[in-house]
Amino acid sequence: MSILRSCLVGVAVAGLTATSALAVSLDTVISLKTTHDQSKTYIDLFHKPFNKNNKVGINLNFKGGPEVIPNRKQGAALKRGVIKFHFGPSGYYSGAVPCARVAALSNVGQATIRKNGAMEVFQKCFGKGLNARIIAHPFDGSSNFHIYLTNPPKISTKTGLDLSGMTMRSTALYNPFMKAMGARPQNISPGDVYTSLERGVVKGLAWPEGGIMRYGWTKYIKYRVGPGFWRSSSMVVINLDAYNAMNKKQRDAIDKAGEAFEPASQKYMRVLADKDNAAVKADGVKFIDLTGDEGKALTATVYGKSWDYAKSKMDPENYAQLRKLLLK
C-alpha cells in the first residue's frame, strides 16, 4: 500500500457518517501555493478525500491560494465570513489571535495537546479573536524549522547564531529571535522571497522543512543551520458561524476528519520533507547542526525570545495555561 493510500484510510473513514439532507458549501482558501508540500498534504489527505467520502452534504469549495486573497488578509476574510474554510500558517493572523503566536512553540505531541486541555484554550482564543474553530493542527513535528543563509554562518555561544547587520526574511512569528540574534527582520511573503534573495535584499530566512526546492531558493541559499526547532503552525480552521449553522452530524463529521488528518499528515509530510531535504542537500546546500553550548544557545534563544514576546501580546491567563501545557 502506498504512503498516500495508507494515510488516506483514517481520514476517509472519519468522513463516512450518516447522510443529511442539508447541503453545505464552504468556500476554501489556502495561504501557501498548491505546490508547497504542506498544501499538497492538506489537499491530498484532507480536502479531496473529505469531499469524496463524506455523506453529510458538505462540499469544500476550493477557491485558490494567495493569488485569490493575499495570505495576510485571509484571516480577516475568514473572520468576516467572506471565506468559510482555511488552511495555512496561523502566524499570519496572530494579530487577531495572540494565542496563535505559540501554536508552533510546543514540544509536546498533538495527541497530548488534544487531551491535556491546550486545544480547549486554543479554541476559545480562535473563537474570540478570529470567529473561527480549529479543525486540525497537522504535521506535529514532522516538519521542523531551520535557518537558511546565503553566507557562512557566524556562530555565537550566546544566541547560537550571530546575524548582526543582516536583513532576514521574517514574519511576526520569527521576529523576536531574529532580533535577538542581531538581524533586521523584514516581512516578505513567500512568493517574493526568491526576488529578495536574487537582489540581495535579504540574506536568509527561517523556514520549515519541505517546499524549499519548489521555490528555487537553493540558487542563493547555501547553508541550513539547526538544530531544528518548533513545529508547523499551519492549521485547518472554519468560520465559527458556518460551523454553528451546520447540524450535529455535519459538525461531528468534519471534526472527526480533522482529528484523523493530524497523525496521517505527520507520516505523509515526513516523507515529503525527507525527499525535499535530500534534494536541497544535493543542490549544494550545506547542513550544519550546532551542538554543545552553541546548539543549546540557539534552541534557548528561539524558544525563550518567542515565548517572552508572546507574553507581551497574550492574555496573561491564556499565556500561563499554554506555556504549562505546551512545554515539557
pLDDT tier, 19 (very low <50, low <70, confident <90, very high otherwise): very low
pLDDT tier, 17 (very low <50, low <70, confident <90, very high otherwise): very low
DSSP state at residue 283: T
pLDDT tier, 14 (very low <50, low <70, confident <90, very high otherwise): very low
Grid coordinates belonging to 169: 526574511
**Radius of gyration for the alpha carbons in the chain, expressed in angstroms and rounded:** 19
Grid coordinates belonging to 105: 512553540
pLDDT tier, 106 (very low <50, low <70, confident <90, very high otherwise): very high
pLDDT of residue 11: 53
C-alpha–C-alpha distance, residues 31 and 45, integer Å: 17
Residue 265 near residue 45 (C-beta atoms within 8 A): yes
pLDDT of residue 7: 56
Question: Which residue bears the cell 453529510?
Answer: 56
Cα distances (Å, whole numbers) of residue 47 to 41, 56, 84, 252, 258: 9, 15, 14, 16, 10
Work out the angle at residue 15's Cα, subtended by the Cα atoms of residues 56 and 128, and round it to the nearest 5 degrees: 80
Sheet harboring 223-229: ordered strands across? 184-187, 167-170, 204-208, 145-149, 223-229, 286-289
Q: Tell me the average pLDDT of the chain.
A: 92
pLDDT of residue 9: 46
pLDDT in tens, 110-148: 999 999 999 999 999 999 999 999 999 999 878 899 999
Q: Tell whether omega for the bond before 227 is within 30 degrees of 0, i.e. cis.
A: yes
Residue 244 near residue 300 (C-beta atoms within 8 A): no
Q: Kindly give the pairing relationship between strand 204-208 and strand 145-149.
A: antiparallel
pLDDT value at 18 more than 70 = no
Q: Kindly give the pairing relationship between strand 145-149 and strand 24-30.
A: unpaired
pLDDT value at 13 more than 50 = no
pLDDT value at 83 more than 60 = yes
pLDDT value at 21 more than 70 = no
pLDDT value at 276 more than 70 = yes
Model's pTM, two decimal places?
A: 0.85
Which of 16-30, 34-48, 73-87, 98-112 reaches the highest mean pLDDT? 73-87
pLDDT value at 6 more than 60 = no
Phi/psi of residue 48, each to 5°? -65, -50
pLDDT value at 247 more than 90 = yes
Residue 325 near residue 115 (C-beta atoms within 8 A): no
pLDDT of residue 20: 41
- In percent, the amount of the chain with pLDDT more than 70 equals 94
pLDDT tier, 2 (very low <50, low <70, confident <90, very high otherwise): low
CB atoms within 10 A of CB 187: 11
Q: How many angstroms separate the most distant Cα atoms in the chain?
A: 63
Domains of the chain: 3-142+232-272 (3.40.190.170), 145-229+278-326 (3.40.190.170)
CA 307 to chain centre: 17
pLDDT value at 3 more than 80 = no
pLDDT in tens, 185-228: 999 988 899 999 999 999 999 999 988 998 999 999 999 999 99
pLDDT of residue 4: 52
Element (H, E) at 88: strand 85-89
Lowest mean per-residue pLDDT among 13-17, 47-51, 63-67, 71-75 = 13-17
pLDDT of residue 143: 83
pLDDT value at 36 more than 70 = yes
C-alpha–C-alpha distance, residues 55 and 19, integer Å: 5
